[in-house]
Amino acid sequence: MNEKQKARLLVTLSGVFLGGMSWMIVWLVIIALQLEKGHPDNVWVKDAYSLKTRAITSTDASPKILIVGGSASMFGVDSSLLAEQFGTPVINFAVNAGIGTYALPALADPHISKGDVVLMPLEYRLLLWDGIPSYVTLSWVLEHPESLRRWRLKSLFSGLWQLPLKRALASYDSSDLTVDSEFPYGAHRLNSHGDQTFTHASERSEQQLAVVEALEPESYAENLINSKIGLQEWQFWWRQWRERGACLLVVPPPMLAHISYFVGESKLFFDSVPHRVRHRGVAYKGQPQMTFFPASAMFDTSYHLTAEARQQYTQWIIEVLPSTIQECRVPALDESDI
């Protein structure tokens, strides 16, 4: 390559570099200018959290049982039954796992006090997250950028790369920021404890059941078997809650069963979950296989139980919770496991 060709190559590479940098700067400006602006994606989630926060405020009692998680808990736990069984206030503070592992525990944090029992039926991607944000996670953080303080570089770069242009520009228009009364999720579908309502099997359409029956198994064994970011993030909050005097308990969430979960890599993945949580110093009761349900028990997704199946799952929780909540103890980290 002669000097003239080298000069042309240098000019070309410089142009590519400057063009890439210019594109990145424009992209960052577009994102920065619409941070904290409302978006329809998040309206029902915010409304649900507002209702649940008011429920906590109106109860103004501690100790209480606070359920933390995603919509599997919102659909899966009967808080009234727990309150009756244990004689203590119960608030279902679970909403949508999609907002992500950075945001979800941070939202629960202000409501956890000394003596509280924090019950966490955490969806597996929420608990064992690999740090790659979903669209729902990105949409939430654009409106609520305060959680960006805890984002790892892996999540930041992945988010910048994956964020759709349509979503980045959406907050600039005058979108309708209300929830339609027919929308299946939101405060208008919750009871006073924060549990999802209108979920009896008789209220499920044939189309919803068909969708559930056609769902493919989750690829958790492939994507989450060695992931660490999710557990590291949860451990950050677990330490604070334990120091505050709260009792922490993780249990497997209700989930659609699939034959592949009982063999091979999937079985190894699910079998490893309890140990991975206990290794972080928090109690885990039961085994994931104990809370798998058939398609007939699901309402509209692989994590949403019908009202009838909710009773079964809640009874299981009652059985695995300590006989006296006040005596609940959090096991220390087993140093031999490190």
pLDDT one-digit tens code per residue, 196-211: 999 999 999 999 999 9
**292: which strand partners?**
255
More reliable by pLDDT, 36 or 271: 271
Q: How far apart are CA 63 and CA 129, in angstroms?
A: 30
CA distance 242 to 249: 11
Residue 88: closest CA among 61, 60, 121, 127: 61
Q: How does the average pLDDT of the chain come out, rounded?
A: 87
pLDDT band at 317 (very low <50, low <70, confident <90, very high): very high
Predicted confidence (pLDDT) at residue 15 exceeds the cutoff of 80: no
Q: Residue by residue, what is the 3-state secondary structure of 215-283?
A: CCCCCHHHHHCCCCHHHHHHHHHHHHHHHCCCEEEECCCCEECCHHHHCHHHHHHHHHHHHHHHCCCCE
Of 12-26, 229-243, 301-315, the poorest mean pLDDT is in 12-26
- Mean pLDDT of all residues in 186-193: 95
Share of residues in the chain with pLDDT > 90 (%):
64
> Residue 327 pLDDT more than 90?
no
Q: Which residues contact 252 (CB under 8 A, 6 or more apart)?
A: 121, 273, 286, 287, 288, 290, 291
Extents of the domains making up the chain = 1-33, 37-332
Residue spans of alpha helices (H) in 114-219: 124-127, 135-143, 153-162, 165-170, 206-213
| Reported pTM | 0.87
Largest CA distance in the chain: 85
Split at pLDDT 50, 70, 90, the class of 14 is low
8 Å CB contact between 90 and 192: no
User: pLDDT per residue over 123-134, tens digit each?
Assistant: 999 999 999 999
pLDDT band at 33 (very low <50, low <70, confident <90, very high): low
How are strands ordered across the β-sheet holding 247-250? 90-92, 65-67, 117-120, 247-250, 283-284
CA distances from 288 to 214, 252, 257, 258, 271 (A): 22, 5, 10, 12, 7
Q: Which CATH number is associated with domain 37-332?
A: 3.40.50
Residue-level pLDDT at 148: 87
Quick: pLDDT tens for 127-157: 999 999 999 999 899 889 888 889 998 998 8
